[in-house]
Structures are given as C-alpha cells and as structure tokens.
Chain A
Amino acid sequence: MIAPMAIVAKDLVKRYGKARALDGFSLSVPEGSIMGLVGPNGAGKTTWMMCVAGLLNADSGEISLFGGGAFDAAEHSGRVAILPQDSELPLEMSPRSLFRTFARLQGLSGKNVDAAADEALAAVHLEDCATKPVRALSHGMRKRVMAGQCFIGDPELLLLDEPMNGLDPEETARLRSLILAGKGRHTTVISSHNLQDLERLCTHVAFADGGRIVQSARIEDIVADGTTLEDAYLRARCGQG
C-alpha cells in the first residue's frame, strides 16, 4: 500500500535573476515521515521549503499539500509550521506573548491558548525567560523560541531549516527528542548538514544538489551494512561529479 503524501513537489523551478535556485526540484514526502534534506550550500533546500510554505513563489512546477493544492494560509493555517533559517523573531515580544499570539492565530481560544503556549515553552525549556523580550535573549535562546513556535497547536507538517544550528548539546538532544516524539503524528522535513543527527532522526532522506533532488529513499535503504549516511551522501555527490 502506498502511503499518502504530505508534500508532493514536481519540477519546481525558481530563479533569482539568472541563477536557478530550484531547477526541476521534485520530492514527495510521505505523511508521518521524518524526511532529512541534505545537500551542499546552494542546493535549493531552503528555497524549496520556502516554496512549500508559500513564502516564495515558484516560477514553474507544482506543489500539493495533503493531497490538495499548494499552501494557502486560509486552508492550512495551523497545519503547517516553519522554522526558517536566518529569520529574526519579533524582537519586542516575549516568548510567552509570541506563543500565545501564534496559538490564537492557529485557531485556539480560551484556556487552550495558555496551555499551548506553556507546553511550547516547556518543550524548549524557556519557562525562566518566558516574559523577557526576545531582544534580551541570547542567540541560542532565540533559536529555541524559533523551534518552540513550530510545535504550537500540534501542526501536521513541520518544515525545519537547520533546526540544531546554534543550540548547545543539551538543547540539541531535547529538540531531537521533541522531533522523535512526533514521529508518525507529524510529517517533518529537516534540512541539516549534521548527517549524524539526521541518521538518528529520519525515516527518509533526500540528497539535493544544483537545485534538484539527486536521490531520495527510505533511510534503511540507504544506511545498511555498515554504510553511514555520510558515506551514502559522499557517494551520491561523487556519482554526480
């Protein structure tokens, strides 16, 4: 039986001037899976995630979310969350007020708003600085706020772009546990250069290069007989070269 797909992206093309960030990027992500997206800088991973989240407009190609059309906030609000790379948080808001606002935007009301905010704060271990403005938080703490907002309201699809960057080992382990806890319930796409993390977390993996996917498979089909994800990735890169 073929698993239903959370994301189906076909032949996406996105140009920035003459450069093609996506050049026929096609990738399907099964529902409930954790998909690791690996590739060198400029492979198109971030651009693809932003297109899936409706933040960038692809020049051509098709995206389908949950068997329907492309991202539409009116339809998908609360179902899709993104941890964008290099995006500042609203600096004047505190983590608590930010999480409460996002919970409300995702359709929660009354006590559920506070419950969802408190749950997210606890998940990323930010209870002690819940009321401080984001401006006053360290880089690592801000990263935890970025991660925490993704889990508010239990969204179906998580798009995490370099989620472990800037986190200390303890918080990295905590975030890994958080992602693993949602396995089968959330569909998660993680873009990362940390192949060991991905090997531990992912059910599926896709290698991207030059704006397209060069290999996509279940993790056990790639990592087997003592072959690590790093070996497989380097082999795929050499095969490309």
Chain B
Amino acid sequence: MSVARVFSVAVADVATSLRSRRALVMILLFAAVSAFIAYALVSGFAAIEREVVAALGLPAADNPCAVTATLWKSKPFMRFANGVAGGNLVFADIIGRHPLVLAYAFFMFSTVAILTLLVSAPKIADEIRTGAARYWLVRTTRGEWSLGKFLGETALVAVSLSAGSLSAWAVVAFRLPGSTGAVLLPDFLDWTARAAVYAFAWLGLFTGISHIARSGGKAVAFSIMAMIALSVWPVTLGNAAESWPFLSFVTGLDVLAPHSAMSLMWRRTPAALVRGVFHLSAISFLYAGIGAAIFRRRDI
C-alpha cells in the first residue's frame, strides 16, 4: 500500500468536499445549530437562576450560569448527588465539570451520528454510481482509495465538529461575563475530541455502507436503518435473551453498537477513556473494513 497515494486521495476528498456546497452547508449548519444550542443553554440556565434568586428574595445578578456552576461544583452537592447516583462512575467523573460544558457535550453526543451521516454517507456511493471512481481506480488500489476516502471523511467530520464547538464556545464566551466563558475553551475542545471519537465509530459504519450501496440516496437510507437498528440493538438483544435463555450469548453482541462504548467517553480516568477510544475505533475499522472488503470484489 502506498502512503503517498492514500494521502493524495484523502486530500482530494477533503478539498472536493469543502468546495461542494453540500459539505459546506453541513459545516455551517452544524456551527449555527451549535451556537444556537449554546445560546439557548446559557439563556435557560439564566432563566432558572432568575427564578431561584427571585424566590430567595436575593438581588438579581447579571452573571448567567454562576449559581448553577457554583451549586454543581459545591462539595456538599457533589456528595449528595453521588449518593443519589449510587456511586455511578460516569456521574462521579462529570459532577465537578462546568454544567454548560456538560450540557453541550450531551448535545454533541446526541447529534454527531446524524451529522456524520449527512456529511459522509452518500459520497462514496455517489462516486461509484456516477463512474467518477473509475478515474481513480486505475491509479490506486481499491484498498488505497477506500482508506484515503475514509481518512478524508474523518477529517471532514473533525472539521465540522470543531466548527460547531468553536462557535458554541464563542457564544458562551460572549454571554458569560469577563473571562468566565473564555476559560472554558479547553473543556469545549476536550469534549469535541471525545465526540469525534464517538463519531469515528459511526463514520466507519456509514462509509462501509457507502462502499456497498448502489447510490448516495440508498446509502443514506441504509445508514439511517443501520443507525436505528444499532440504537435499539442492546434492548432487543436483552429482551430476546430474556425470552429465550438459549440466546443469552447474543447479549455480548451489543459491543458492536457504538452506544455500548459511549459511557466510557464520559469518564475522566485515562484507563476508561483509552478503553473507549480503542472500542470505538475497533468498531469503526470493523464496519469500514467489511465495506471495503466487499468493494474489492465489486464491479465499478
């Protein structure tokens, strides 16, 4: 395998995606939605705090999120919340973090799969359908082309997430007084990186499907079906194993769903994070690899 050829395919993929209106619209849309969510979160917290302050008969403070952050980070509240959560490891790890950042992280984890689907699912299938892939495939091996495309799409999703994260942070920095918001940049970037790893697992699935589907539209449809199937998969497997005990072994298959490793990405301990990164990367390569293996034998 030629690294130079893989790199050339990846660079061309990113360049064409950024020049195409669809990818650019997706990036701008995600940035706009992120900014709106950040604005809504700050406003939401501020509204709650205004009610609390009014109920307590205290003077109103022009400092949104200050009360929530103080409460969330206070030791007595942390002890109380930990007790209620029953020693839940994820809860114990996130309790000290800024609530605004956590709320934004929840938004990121909830939407990255859709974002990844819209950005990457139809592209490879469309290039195969229109015949554009043929010009490349007499110059690169199919493995090099697939890997280059995969890396290009990974970069594109990373750019989209970063754009969303930076726009959200900019809104928070603007809305919170002084440097309160500005200092949250490392936290925003930290959660963006975690969401990017989670998105990577979905990207493997969607690019795998895109290698097999006959058109971009079908790739999107199959990707949506796969996403729904994998989302209900753990519950379905659990119910199946409960109803038919001889199927109990299938509950182990829930490791194939990206959701199964999401809780690890919320953790703070390096060991848990490394496990999560490894798990999600393995899922990504598995699905992308299956798609690429079928593509190797496919007529173009």
Known A-B contacts A57-B299, A105-B5; the reply to A93 vs B139 at CB < 8 A is no
Asked whether, in the complex, the Cβ of B138 is within 8 Å of the Cβ of A57, the reply is no
Interface residues of B in 1-58 (CB under 8 A from A): 1-2, 4-5, 8-9, 11-12, 15-17, 19-20
Interface: B141 (CB within 8 A): yes
Give, as a whole number of angstroms, the nearest-CB distance from A103 to chain B: 10
CB distance from A82 to the nearest CB of B (A): 5
Q: 9 interchain pairs (CB within 8 A)?
A: A71-B138, A77-B5, A86-B131, A87-B130, A87-B131, A87-B132, A87-B134, A90-B135, A102-B139
Residue B73 is within 8 A (CB to CB) of chain A in the complex:
no
Known: A93-B16, A133-B19. A102 touches B135 (CB 8 A): yes
Task: Annotate B128-153 by CB proximity to A: 1 below 8 A, 0 otherwise.
Answer: 00111011111111101000000000
Identity of the chain A residue whose Cβ is nearest the Cβ of B130 in the assembled complex: A88
Which residues of A are in contact with B by a Cβ distance under 8 Å? 50, 53-57, 71-74, 76-78, 80-82, 84, 86-93, 97, 101-102, 104-106, 133, 149
Q: Mark B283-300, 1 if CB is under 8 A from A, else 0.
A: 000000000000001011
Give Cα distance in the complex from A16 to B8, angstroms.
Answer: 34
Partner of B138, one of A82, A93, A101: A82
The answer to whether B15 and A149 touch across the interface, beta carbons within 8 angstroms, is no
Total chain B interface residues with beta-carbon distance under 8 A: 30
Closest CB in chain B relative to A6 CB, distance in Å: 15
Let me know if A89 and B135 touch, CB within 8 A.
Answer: yes
Query: Which residues of A sit under 8 angstroms from B300, Cβ to Cβ?
Result: 50, 55-56
CB-CB under 8 A for A105 and B15, given A56-B299, A57-B299: no
Check if B5 sits within 8 Å of A55, measured CB to CB. Answer: no
CB distance from B148 to the nearest CB of A (A): 10
Collect the chain B residues with CB atoms within 8 Å of residue A88's CB: 130-132
Which residue, of A50, A76, A93, A104, has the highest number of chain B Cβ atoms within 10 A?
A104
* Known contacts A87-B132, A101-B8; A53/B138 CB under 8 A: yes
B134 near A105 with CB under 8 A, answer no
The reply to whether A93 and B8 form a contact with Cβ atoms under 8 Å apart is no
The residue in chain B whose Cβ has the minimal distance to the Cβ of A74 is: B141
Contact (Cβ within 8 A) B140 A105: yes
Chain A residues within an 8 Å CB radius of B144: 73
CB of B127 within 8 A of chain A? yes
B residues in contact with A104, CB < 8 Å: 4-5, 8
Q: Which of B8, B134, B139, B297 contacts A78 (CB 8 A)?
A: B139
Residues of A within 8 A of B140 (CB): 73, 77, 105
Residues B246-300 near A (CB distance < 8 A)? 297, 299-300
Residues of chain B contacted by A55 (CB below 8 angstroms): 134, 137-138, 299-300
- Given that A77-B5, A87-B130 are known contacts, is A92 also in contact with B142, CB under 8 Å in the complex? no
Which interface residue of B9, B15, B127, B132 has the most chain A CB atoms within 10 A? Answer: B132
> In the complex, what residues of B have CB within 8 A of residue A91's CB?
20, 132
- Please determine whether A77 and B138 come into contact, CB atoms closer than 8 angstroms: yes
Other CB < 8 Å A-B pairs besides A77-B140, A104-B4, 14 of them?
Answer: A53-B138, A73-B139, A74-B2, A87-B131, A87-B134, A88-B131, A89-B132, A89-B135, A91-B20, A92-B16, A92-B19, A93-B15, A105-B9, A105-B140
